[in-house]
Amino acid sequence: MLKIGHRGAMGYAPENTLDSFAKALELGVDGIELDVHLCRSGETVVIHDSRVDRTTNGQGKVREMTLGELKDLDAGNGNPILTLEEVLDFVDRRALIDIELKAKGTAGPVAAMIRQYLESRGWKPDLFLITSFDHHELKRCHELIPYIPFGPLLAAKPLDYARIAQAMEANRIMPFFEFLDENFVQDAHQKGIKVITWTVNRFDDIKEVLAMGVDGIISNYPDRLFGFN
């Protein structure tokens, strides 16, 4: 069962920061989840929201700011906003990287960067996972790098369980844990699709989804995932 830290280990450090990713690695995670947007100067930056207001001391839309302007902001406890490349270099194959595409246009740059790390930096395809609520952007990324695992994020229970992932030829599906049940997991497994659920923080909820047979859990407190299996 994959143990994945949400935005690093955001229960213990500011989300999507070097401190958060370092904490996740310290806790021994199998994977680190992060979010990406494009900024005005073209770089792929690691931040959850389309605006910087909630997570930094600044204001404005990420896509309207240059990397230099973003780097001047404090993302919490003195941490800067990071580029995807900076995170990959820091993690350096010590954990799987779950990249959530947060905005239109992220598929191409993310695919290009992943190819670079596969071809010249010794990474393997199974060290990446691409996810998104924007299933069109996710499909575009899959078409560019079809050998990388990917899965649609779901915020509600679909009528046909894992049919969405099957229709996309996805090998993962990423449902919100509150809409998950044993039938969903069994249906996905019968279709050859793994189930990774988010964001599960309470011990009782962790035990419940584990009993359903999920293949991975994303948590703000990834250390809570240890000791169950």
Q: Would you call 37 a catalytic residue per the annotation?
A: no
**How many residues belong to the chain?**
229
Residue closest to 65 by CA, chosen among 54, 75, 73, 55? 73
Q: How far apart are CA 83 and CA 41, in angstroms?
A: 12
Q: State both tokens at 35.
A: 């979010």
Type of residue found at 97: I
- Out of 37, 48, 136, 142, the active site residue is 48
For helices 18-27 and 84-91, what crossing angle results, to 10°? Answer: 30
Tell me the helix, strand and coil percentages in the chain, rounded to 5: 35, 20, 40
Q: Would you call 142 a catalytic residue per the annotation?
A: no
Element (H, E) at 31: strand 31-38
- Out of 6, 37, 136, 189, the active site residue is 6
**Catalytic sites, residue numbers:** 6, 48
